[in-house]
Amino acid sequence: MITKYLTKSFYINLCIVFSIYILDRISKIYIIYLDKQILDSNIFESAFLNITLIWNKGIAFGLFSFDEIYFYNLLSIIIAVVIVALLVMAVKTIGFRRYYLFMIIGGALGNLHDRIFSFAVPDFIDFHIGSFHWFIFNVSDIFISLGVIGMIISELINDNANDKV
């Protein structure tokens, strides 16, 4: 039964997920290396972009940060279950939605890796305008956000197409 899903496109999709995961890992390892070399979390500063390492124990953009290990572990398990559910959805989906789901999965795996092995996710990209700073994020968060935006747009387009029929 599972062999019907092990096609050429499956391996291409697996490469997409793996590439996002590797890009995220390399960026985080490099930023952590720079942080240790400079001995300062402020690695780079400019008018609109700072590279500042912070360790995020919460979920997206630092929301729901917990010091309690049980809540943290429960949250990590929930994230792992959601990744598996997204993988099942992606395998059964066709078109661009599949790629959006794989972008989300690749990013989520990168962050889950850090949650498991570092007990926090390193975030370091800080866009700002003057003193207004957006949430600090990482490469995984970029792909998760792009995947979610793509899914929303594809749903809106399909809903509009269904309304015309």
pTM for this prediction: 0.83
Query: Does 126 map to a domain?
Result: yes
Q: What is the pLDDT of residue 165?
A: 46
Query: Does 3 map to a domain?
Result: no
pLDDT at 114 over 90: yes
Q: What is the pLDDT of residue 99?
A: 93
**Segments forming the whole domain that contains residue 150:** 16-160
Three-state DSSP at 47 gives coil
Total number of domains in the chain:
1
- Reply yes or no on whether 141 is catalytic: yes
- Give 132's strand partners: 129
Q: What is the pLDDT of residue 81?
A: 95
> What's the sign of the alpha-carbon dihedral 60, 129, 126, 151?
positive
Query: Does 64 map to a domain?
Result: yes
Query: Does 145 map to a domain?
Result: yes
Query: Does 1 map to a domain?
Result: no
pLDDT at 97 over 60: yes
Chain length of the chain = 165
Give the C-alpha separation, 124 to 17, whole Å.
21
**Annotated active-site residue in 24, 114, 123, 126:** 123
* Number of CB atoms found within 10 A of residue 107's CB: 27
Q: Which helix (DSSP H) or strand (DSSP E) does residue 124 occupy? A: strand 121-129
Model confidence over 13-50: pLDDT tens digits?
Answer: 889 999 999 999 999 999 999 998 887 778 788 888 98
Q: What is the pLDDT of residue 33?
A: 92
Query: Does 138 map to a domain?
Result: yes
Model confidence over 136-161: pLDDT tens digits?
Answer: 899 999 999 999 999 999 989 876 55
Model confidence over 50-67: pLDDT tens digits?
Answer: 899 999 876 554 555 555
- Reply yes or no on whether 35 is catalytic: no
